[in-house]
Amino acid sequence: MAAKDNTMPIVSKMFCSSSQVVLTVRRRPHVVYGGGFVVTDCSQNVVFRVDGCGILGKKGELILRDGDGDDLLLIRRKGGIVEALSINRQWKGYTLDYDGSQKLVFSLKEPNLCIVKNNPIRISIEPKGCSKNSDFEIKGHFSDKACSILDYKGNIVAQVGVKREVEDNMASKDLYHVIVKPGIDQAFVFGVIAVLDYIYDGSTRC
């Protein structure tokens, strides 16, 4: 009998590992590289890069690239009058096809930190179906680099943390790790982390 496939491709199946993966995030200084961060594996190979508005020149826009520099996700914050009237700002992540067309793959509601505190941030996988079985939420405090992404059953699919040796060091905000569970789309996880970095005044923000 064939084993059950537990992969959850959102951006691409090629970013779903059959085993747990621990990746390291290192922020890039604004003045040197224009902001953003780099994600490396245990062998120090670059797996993903995130460019923020310091590089792109546009506020509320982020790009997730693979280790070769190819675009994987274009992430934009919904703006205009709708945003001004809304309690929650919304971010949308799009995959980019070879012909330049965009396909919406996830939406994230940014909490209004002045009104609601400690409420989980919700992520919807697109296109929306009849069920919420593919939705996620974030619990914890990304600003402290201590939070988790949970699936609709409450299972942790990815966890952000700081290694003990840098916990009491100023570098802890510039260097942290992300544990991604087996079968989970790592590109999706770091697309979400890119948004969190921007929301909480990280290196992706101008």
Q: How far is the C-alpha of 18 from the C-alpha of 181, rounded, in Å?
A: 9
Confidence at residue 74, expressed as pLDDT on a 0 to 100 scale: 94
Confidence at residue 28, expressed as pLDDT on a 0 to 100 scale: 77
Cβ contacts of 25 within 8 Å, gap of 6 or more: 37, 38, 39, 175, 176, 177, 178, 193
Confidence at residue 93, expressed as pLDDT on a 0 to 100 scale: 95
Look up tokens 């190819």; give the residue: 70
Residue 34 backbone dihedrals phi, psi, to 5 degrees: 85, 15
Confidence at residue 3, expressed as pLDDT on a 0 to 100 scale: 47
Q: For the domain bounded by 20-199, which CATH number is listed? A: 2.40.160.200
The b/e string for 5-18 (b: 16+ C-beta within 10 A; e otherwise) is eeebebbeeebbee
Q: What is the pLDDT of residues 75-96, one digit of tens each?
A: 999 865 454 455 567 999 999 8
Q: Where are the domains of the chain?
A: 20-199
Confidence at residue 2, expressed as pLDDT on a 0 to 100 scale: 43
Residue ranges in the chain whose pLDDT is less than 50: 1-3, 81, 83-84, 130-131
Confidence at residue 9, expressed as pLDDT on a 0 to 100 scale: 86
Confidence at residue 81, expressed as pLDDT on a 0 to 100 scale: 47
- pLDDT, mean over the chain: 82
Nearest to 50 by CA among 69, 31, 23: 69
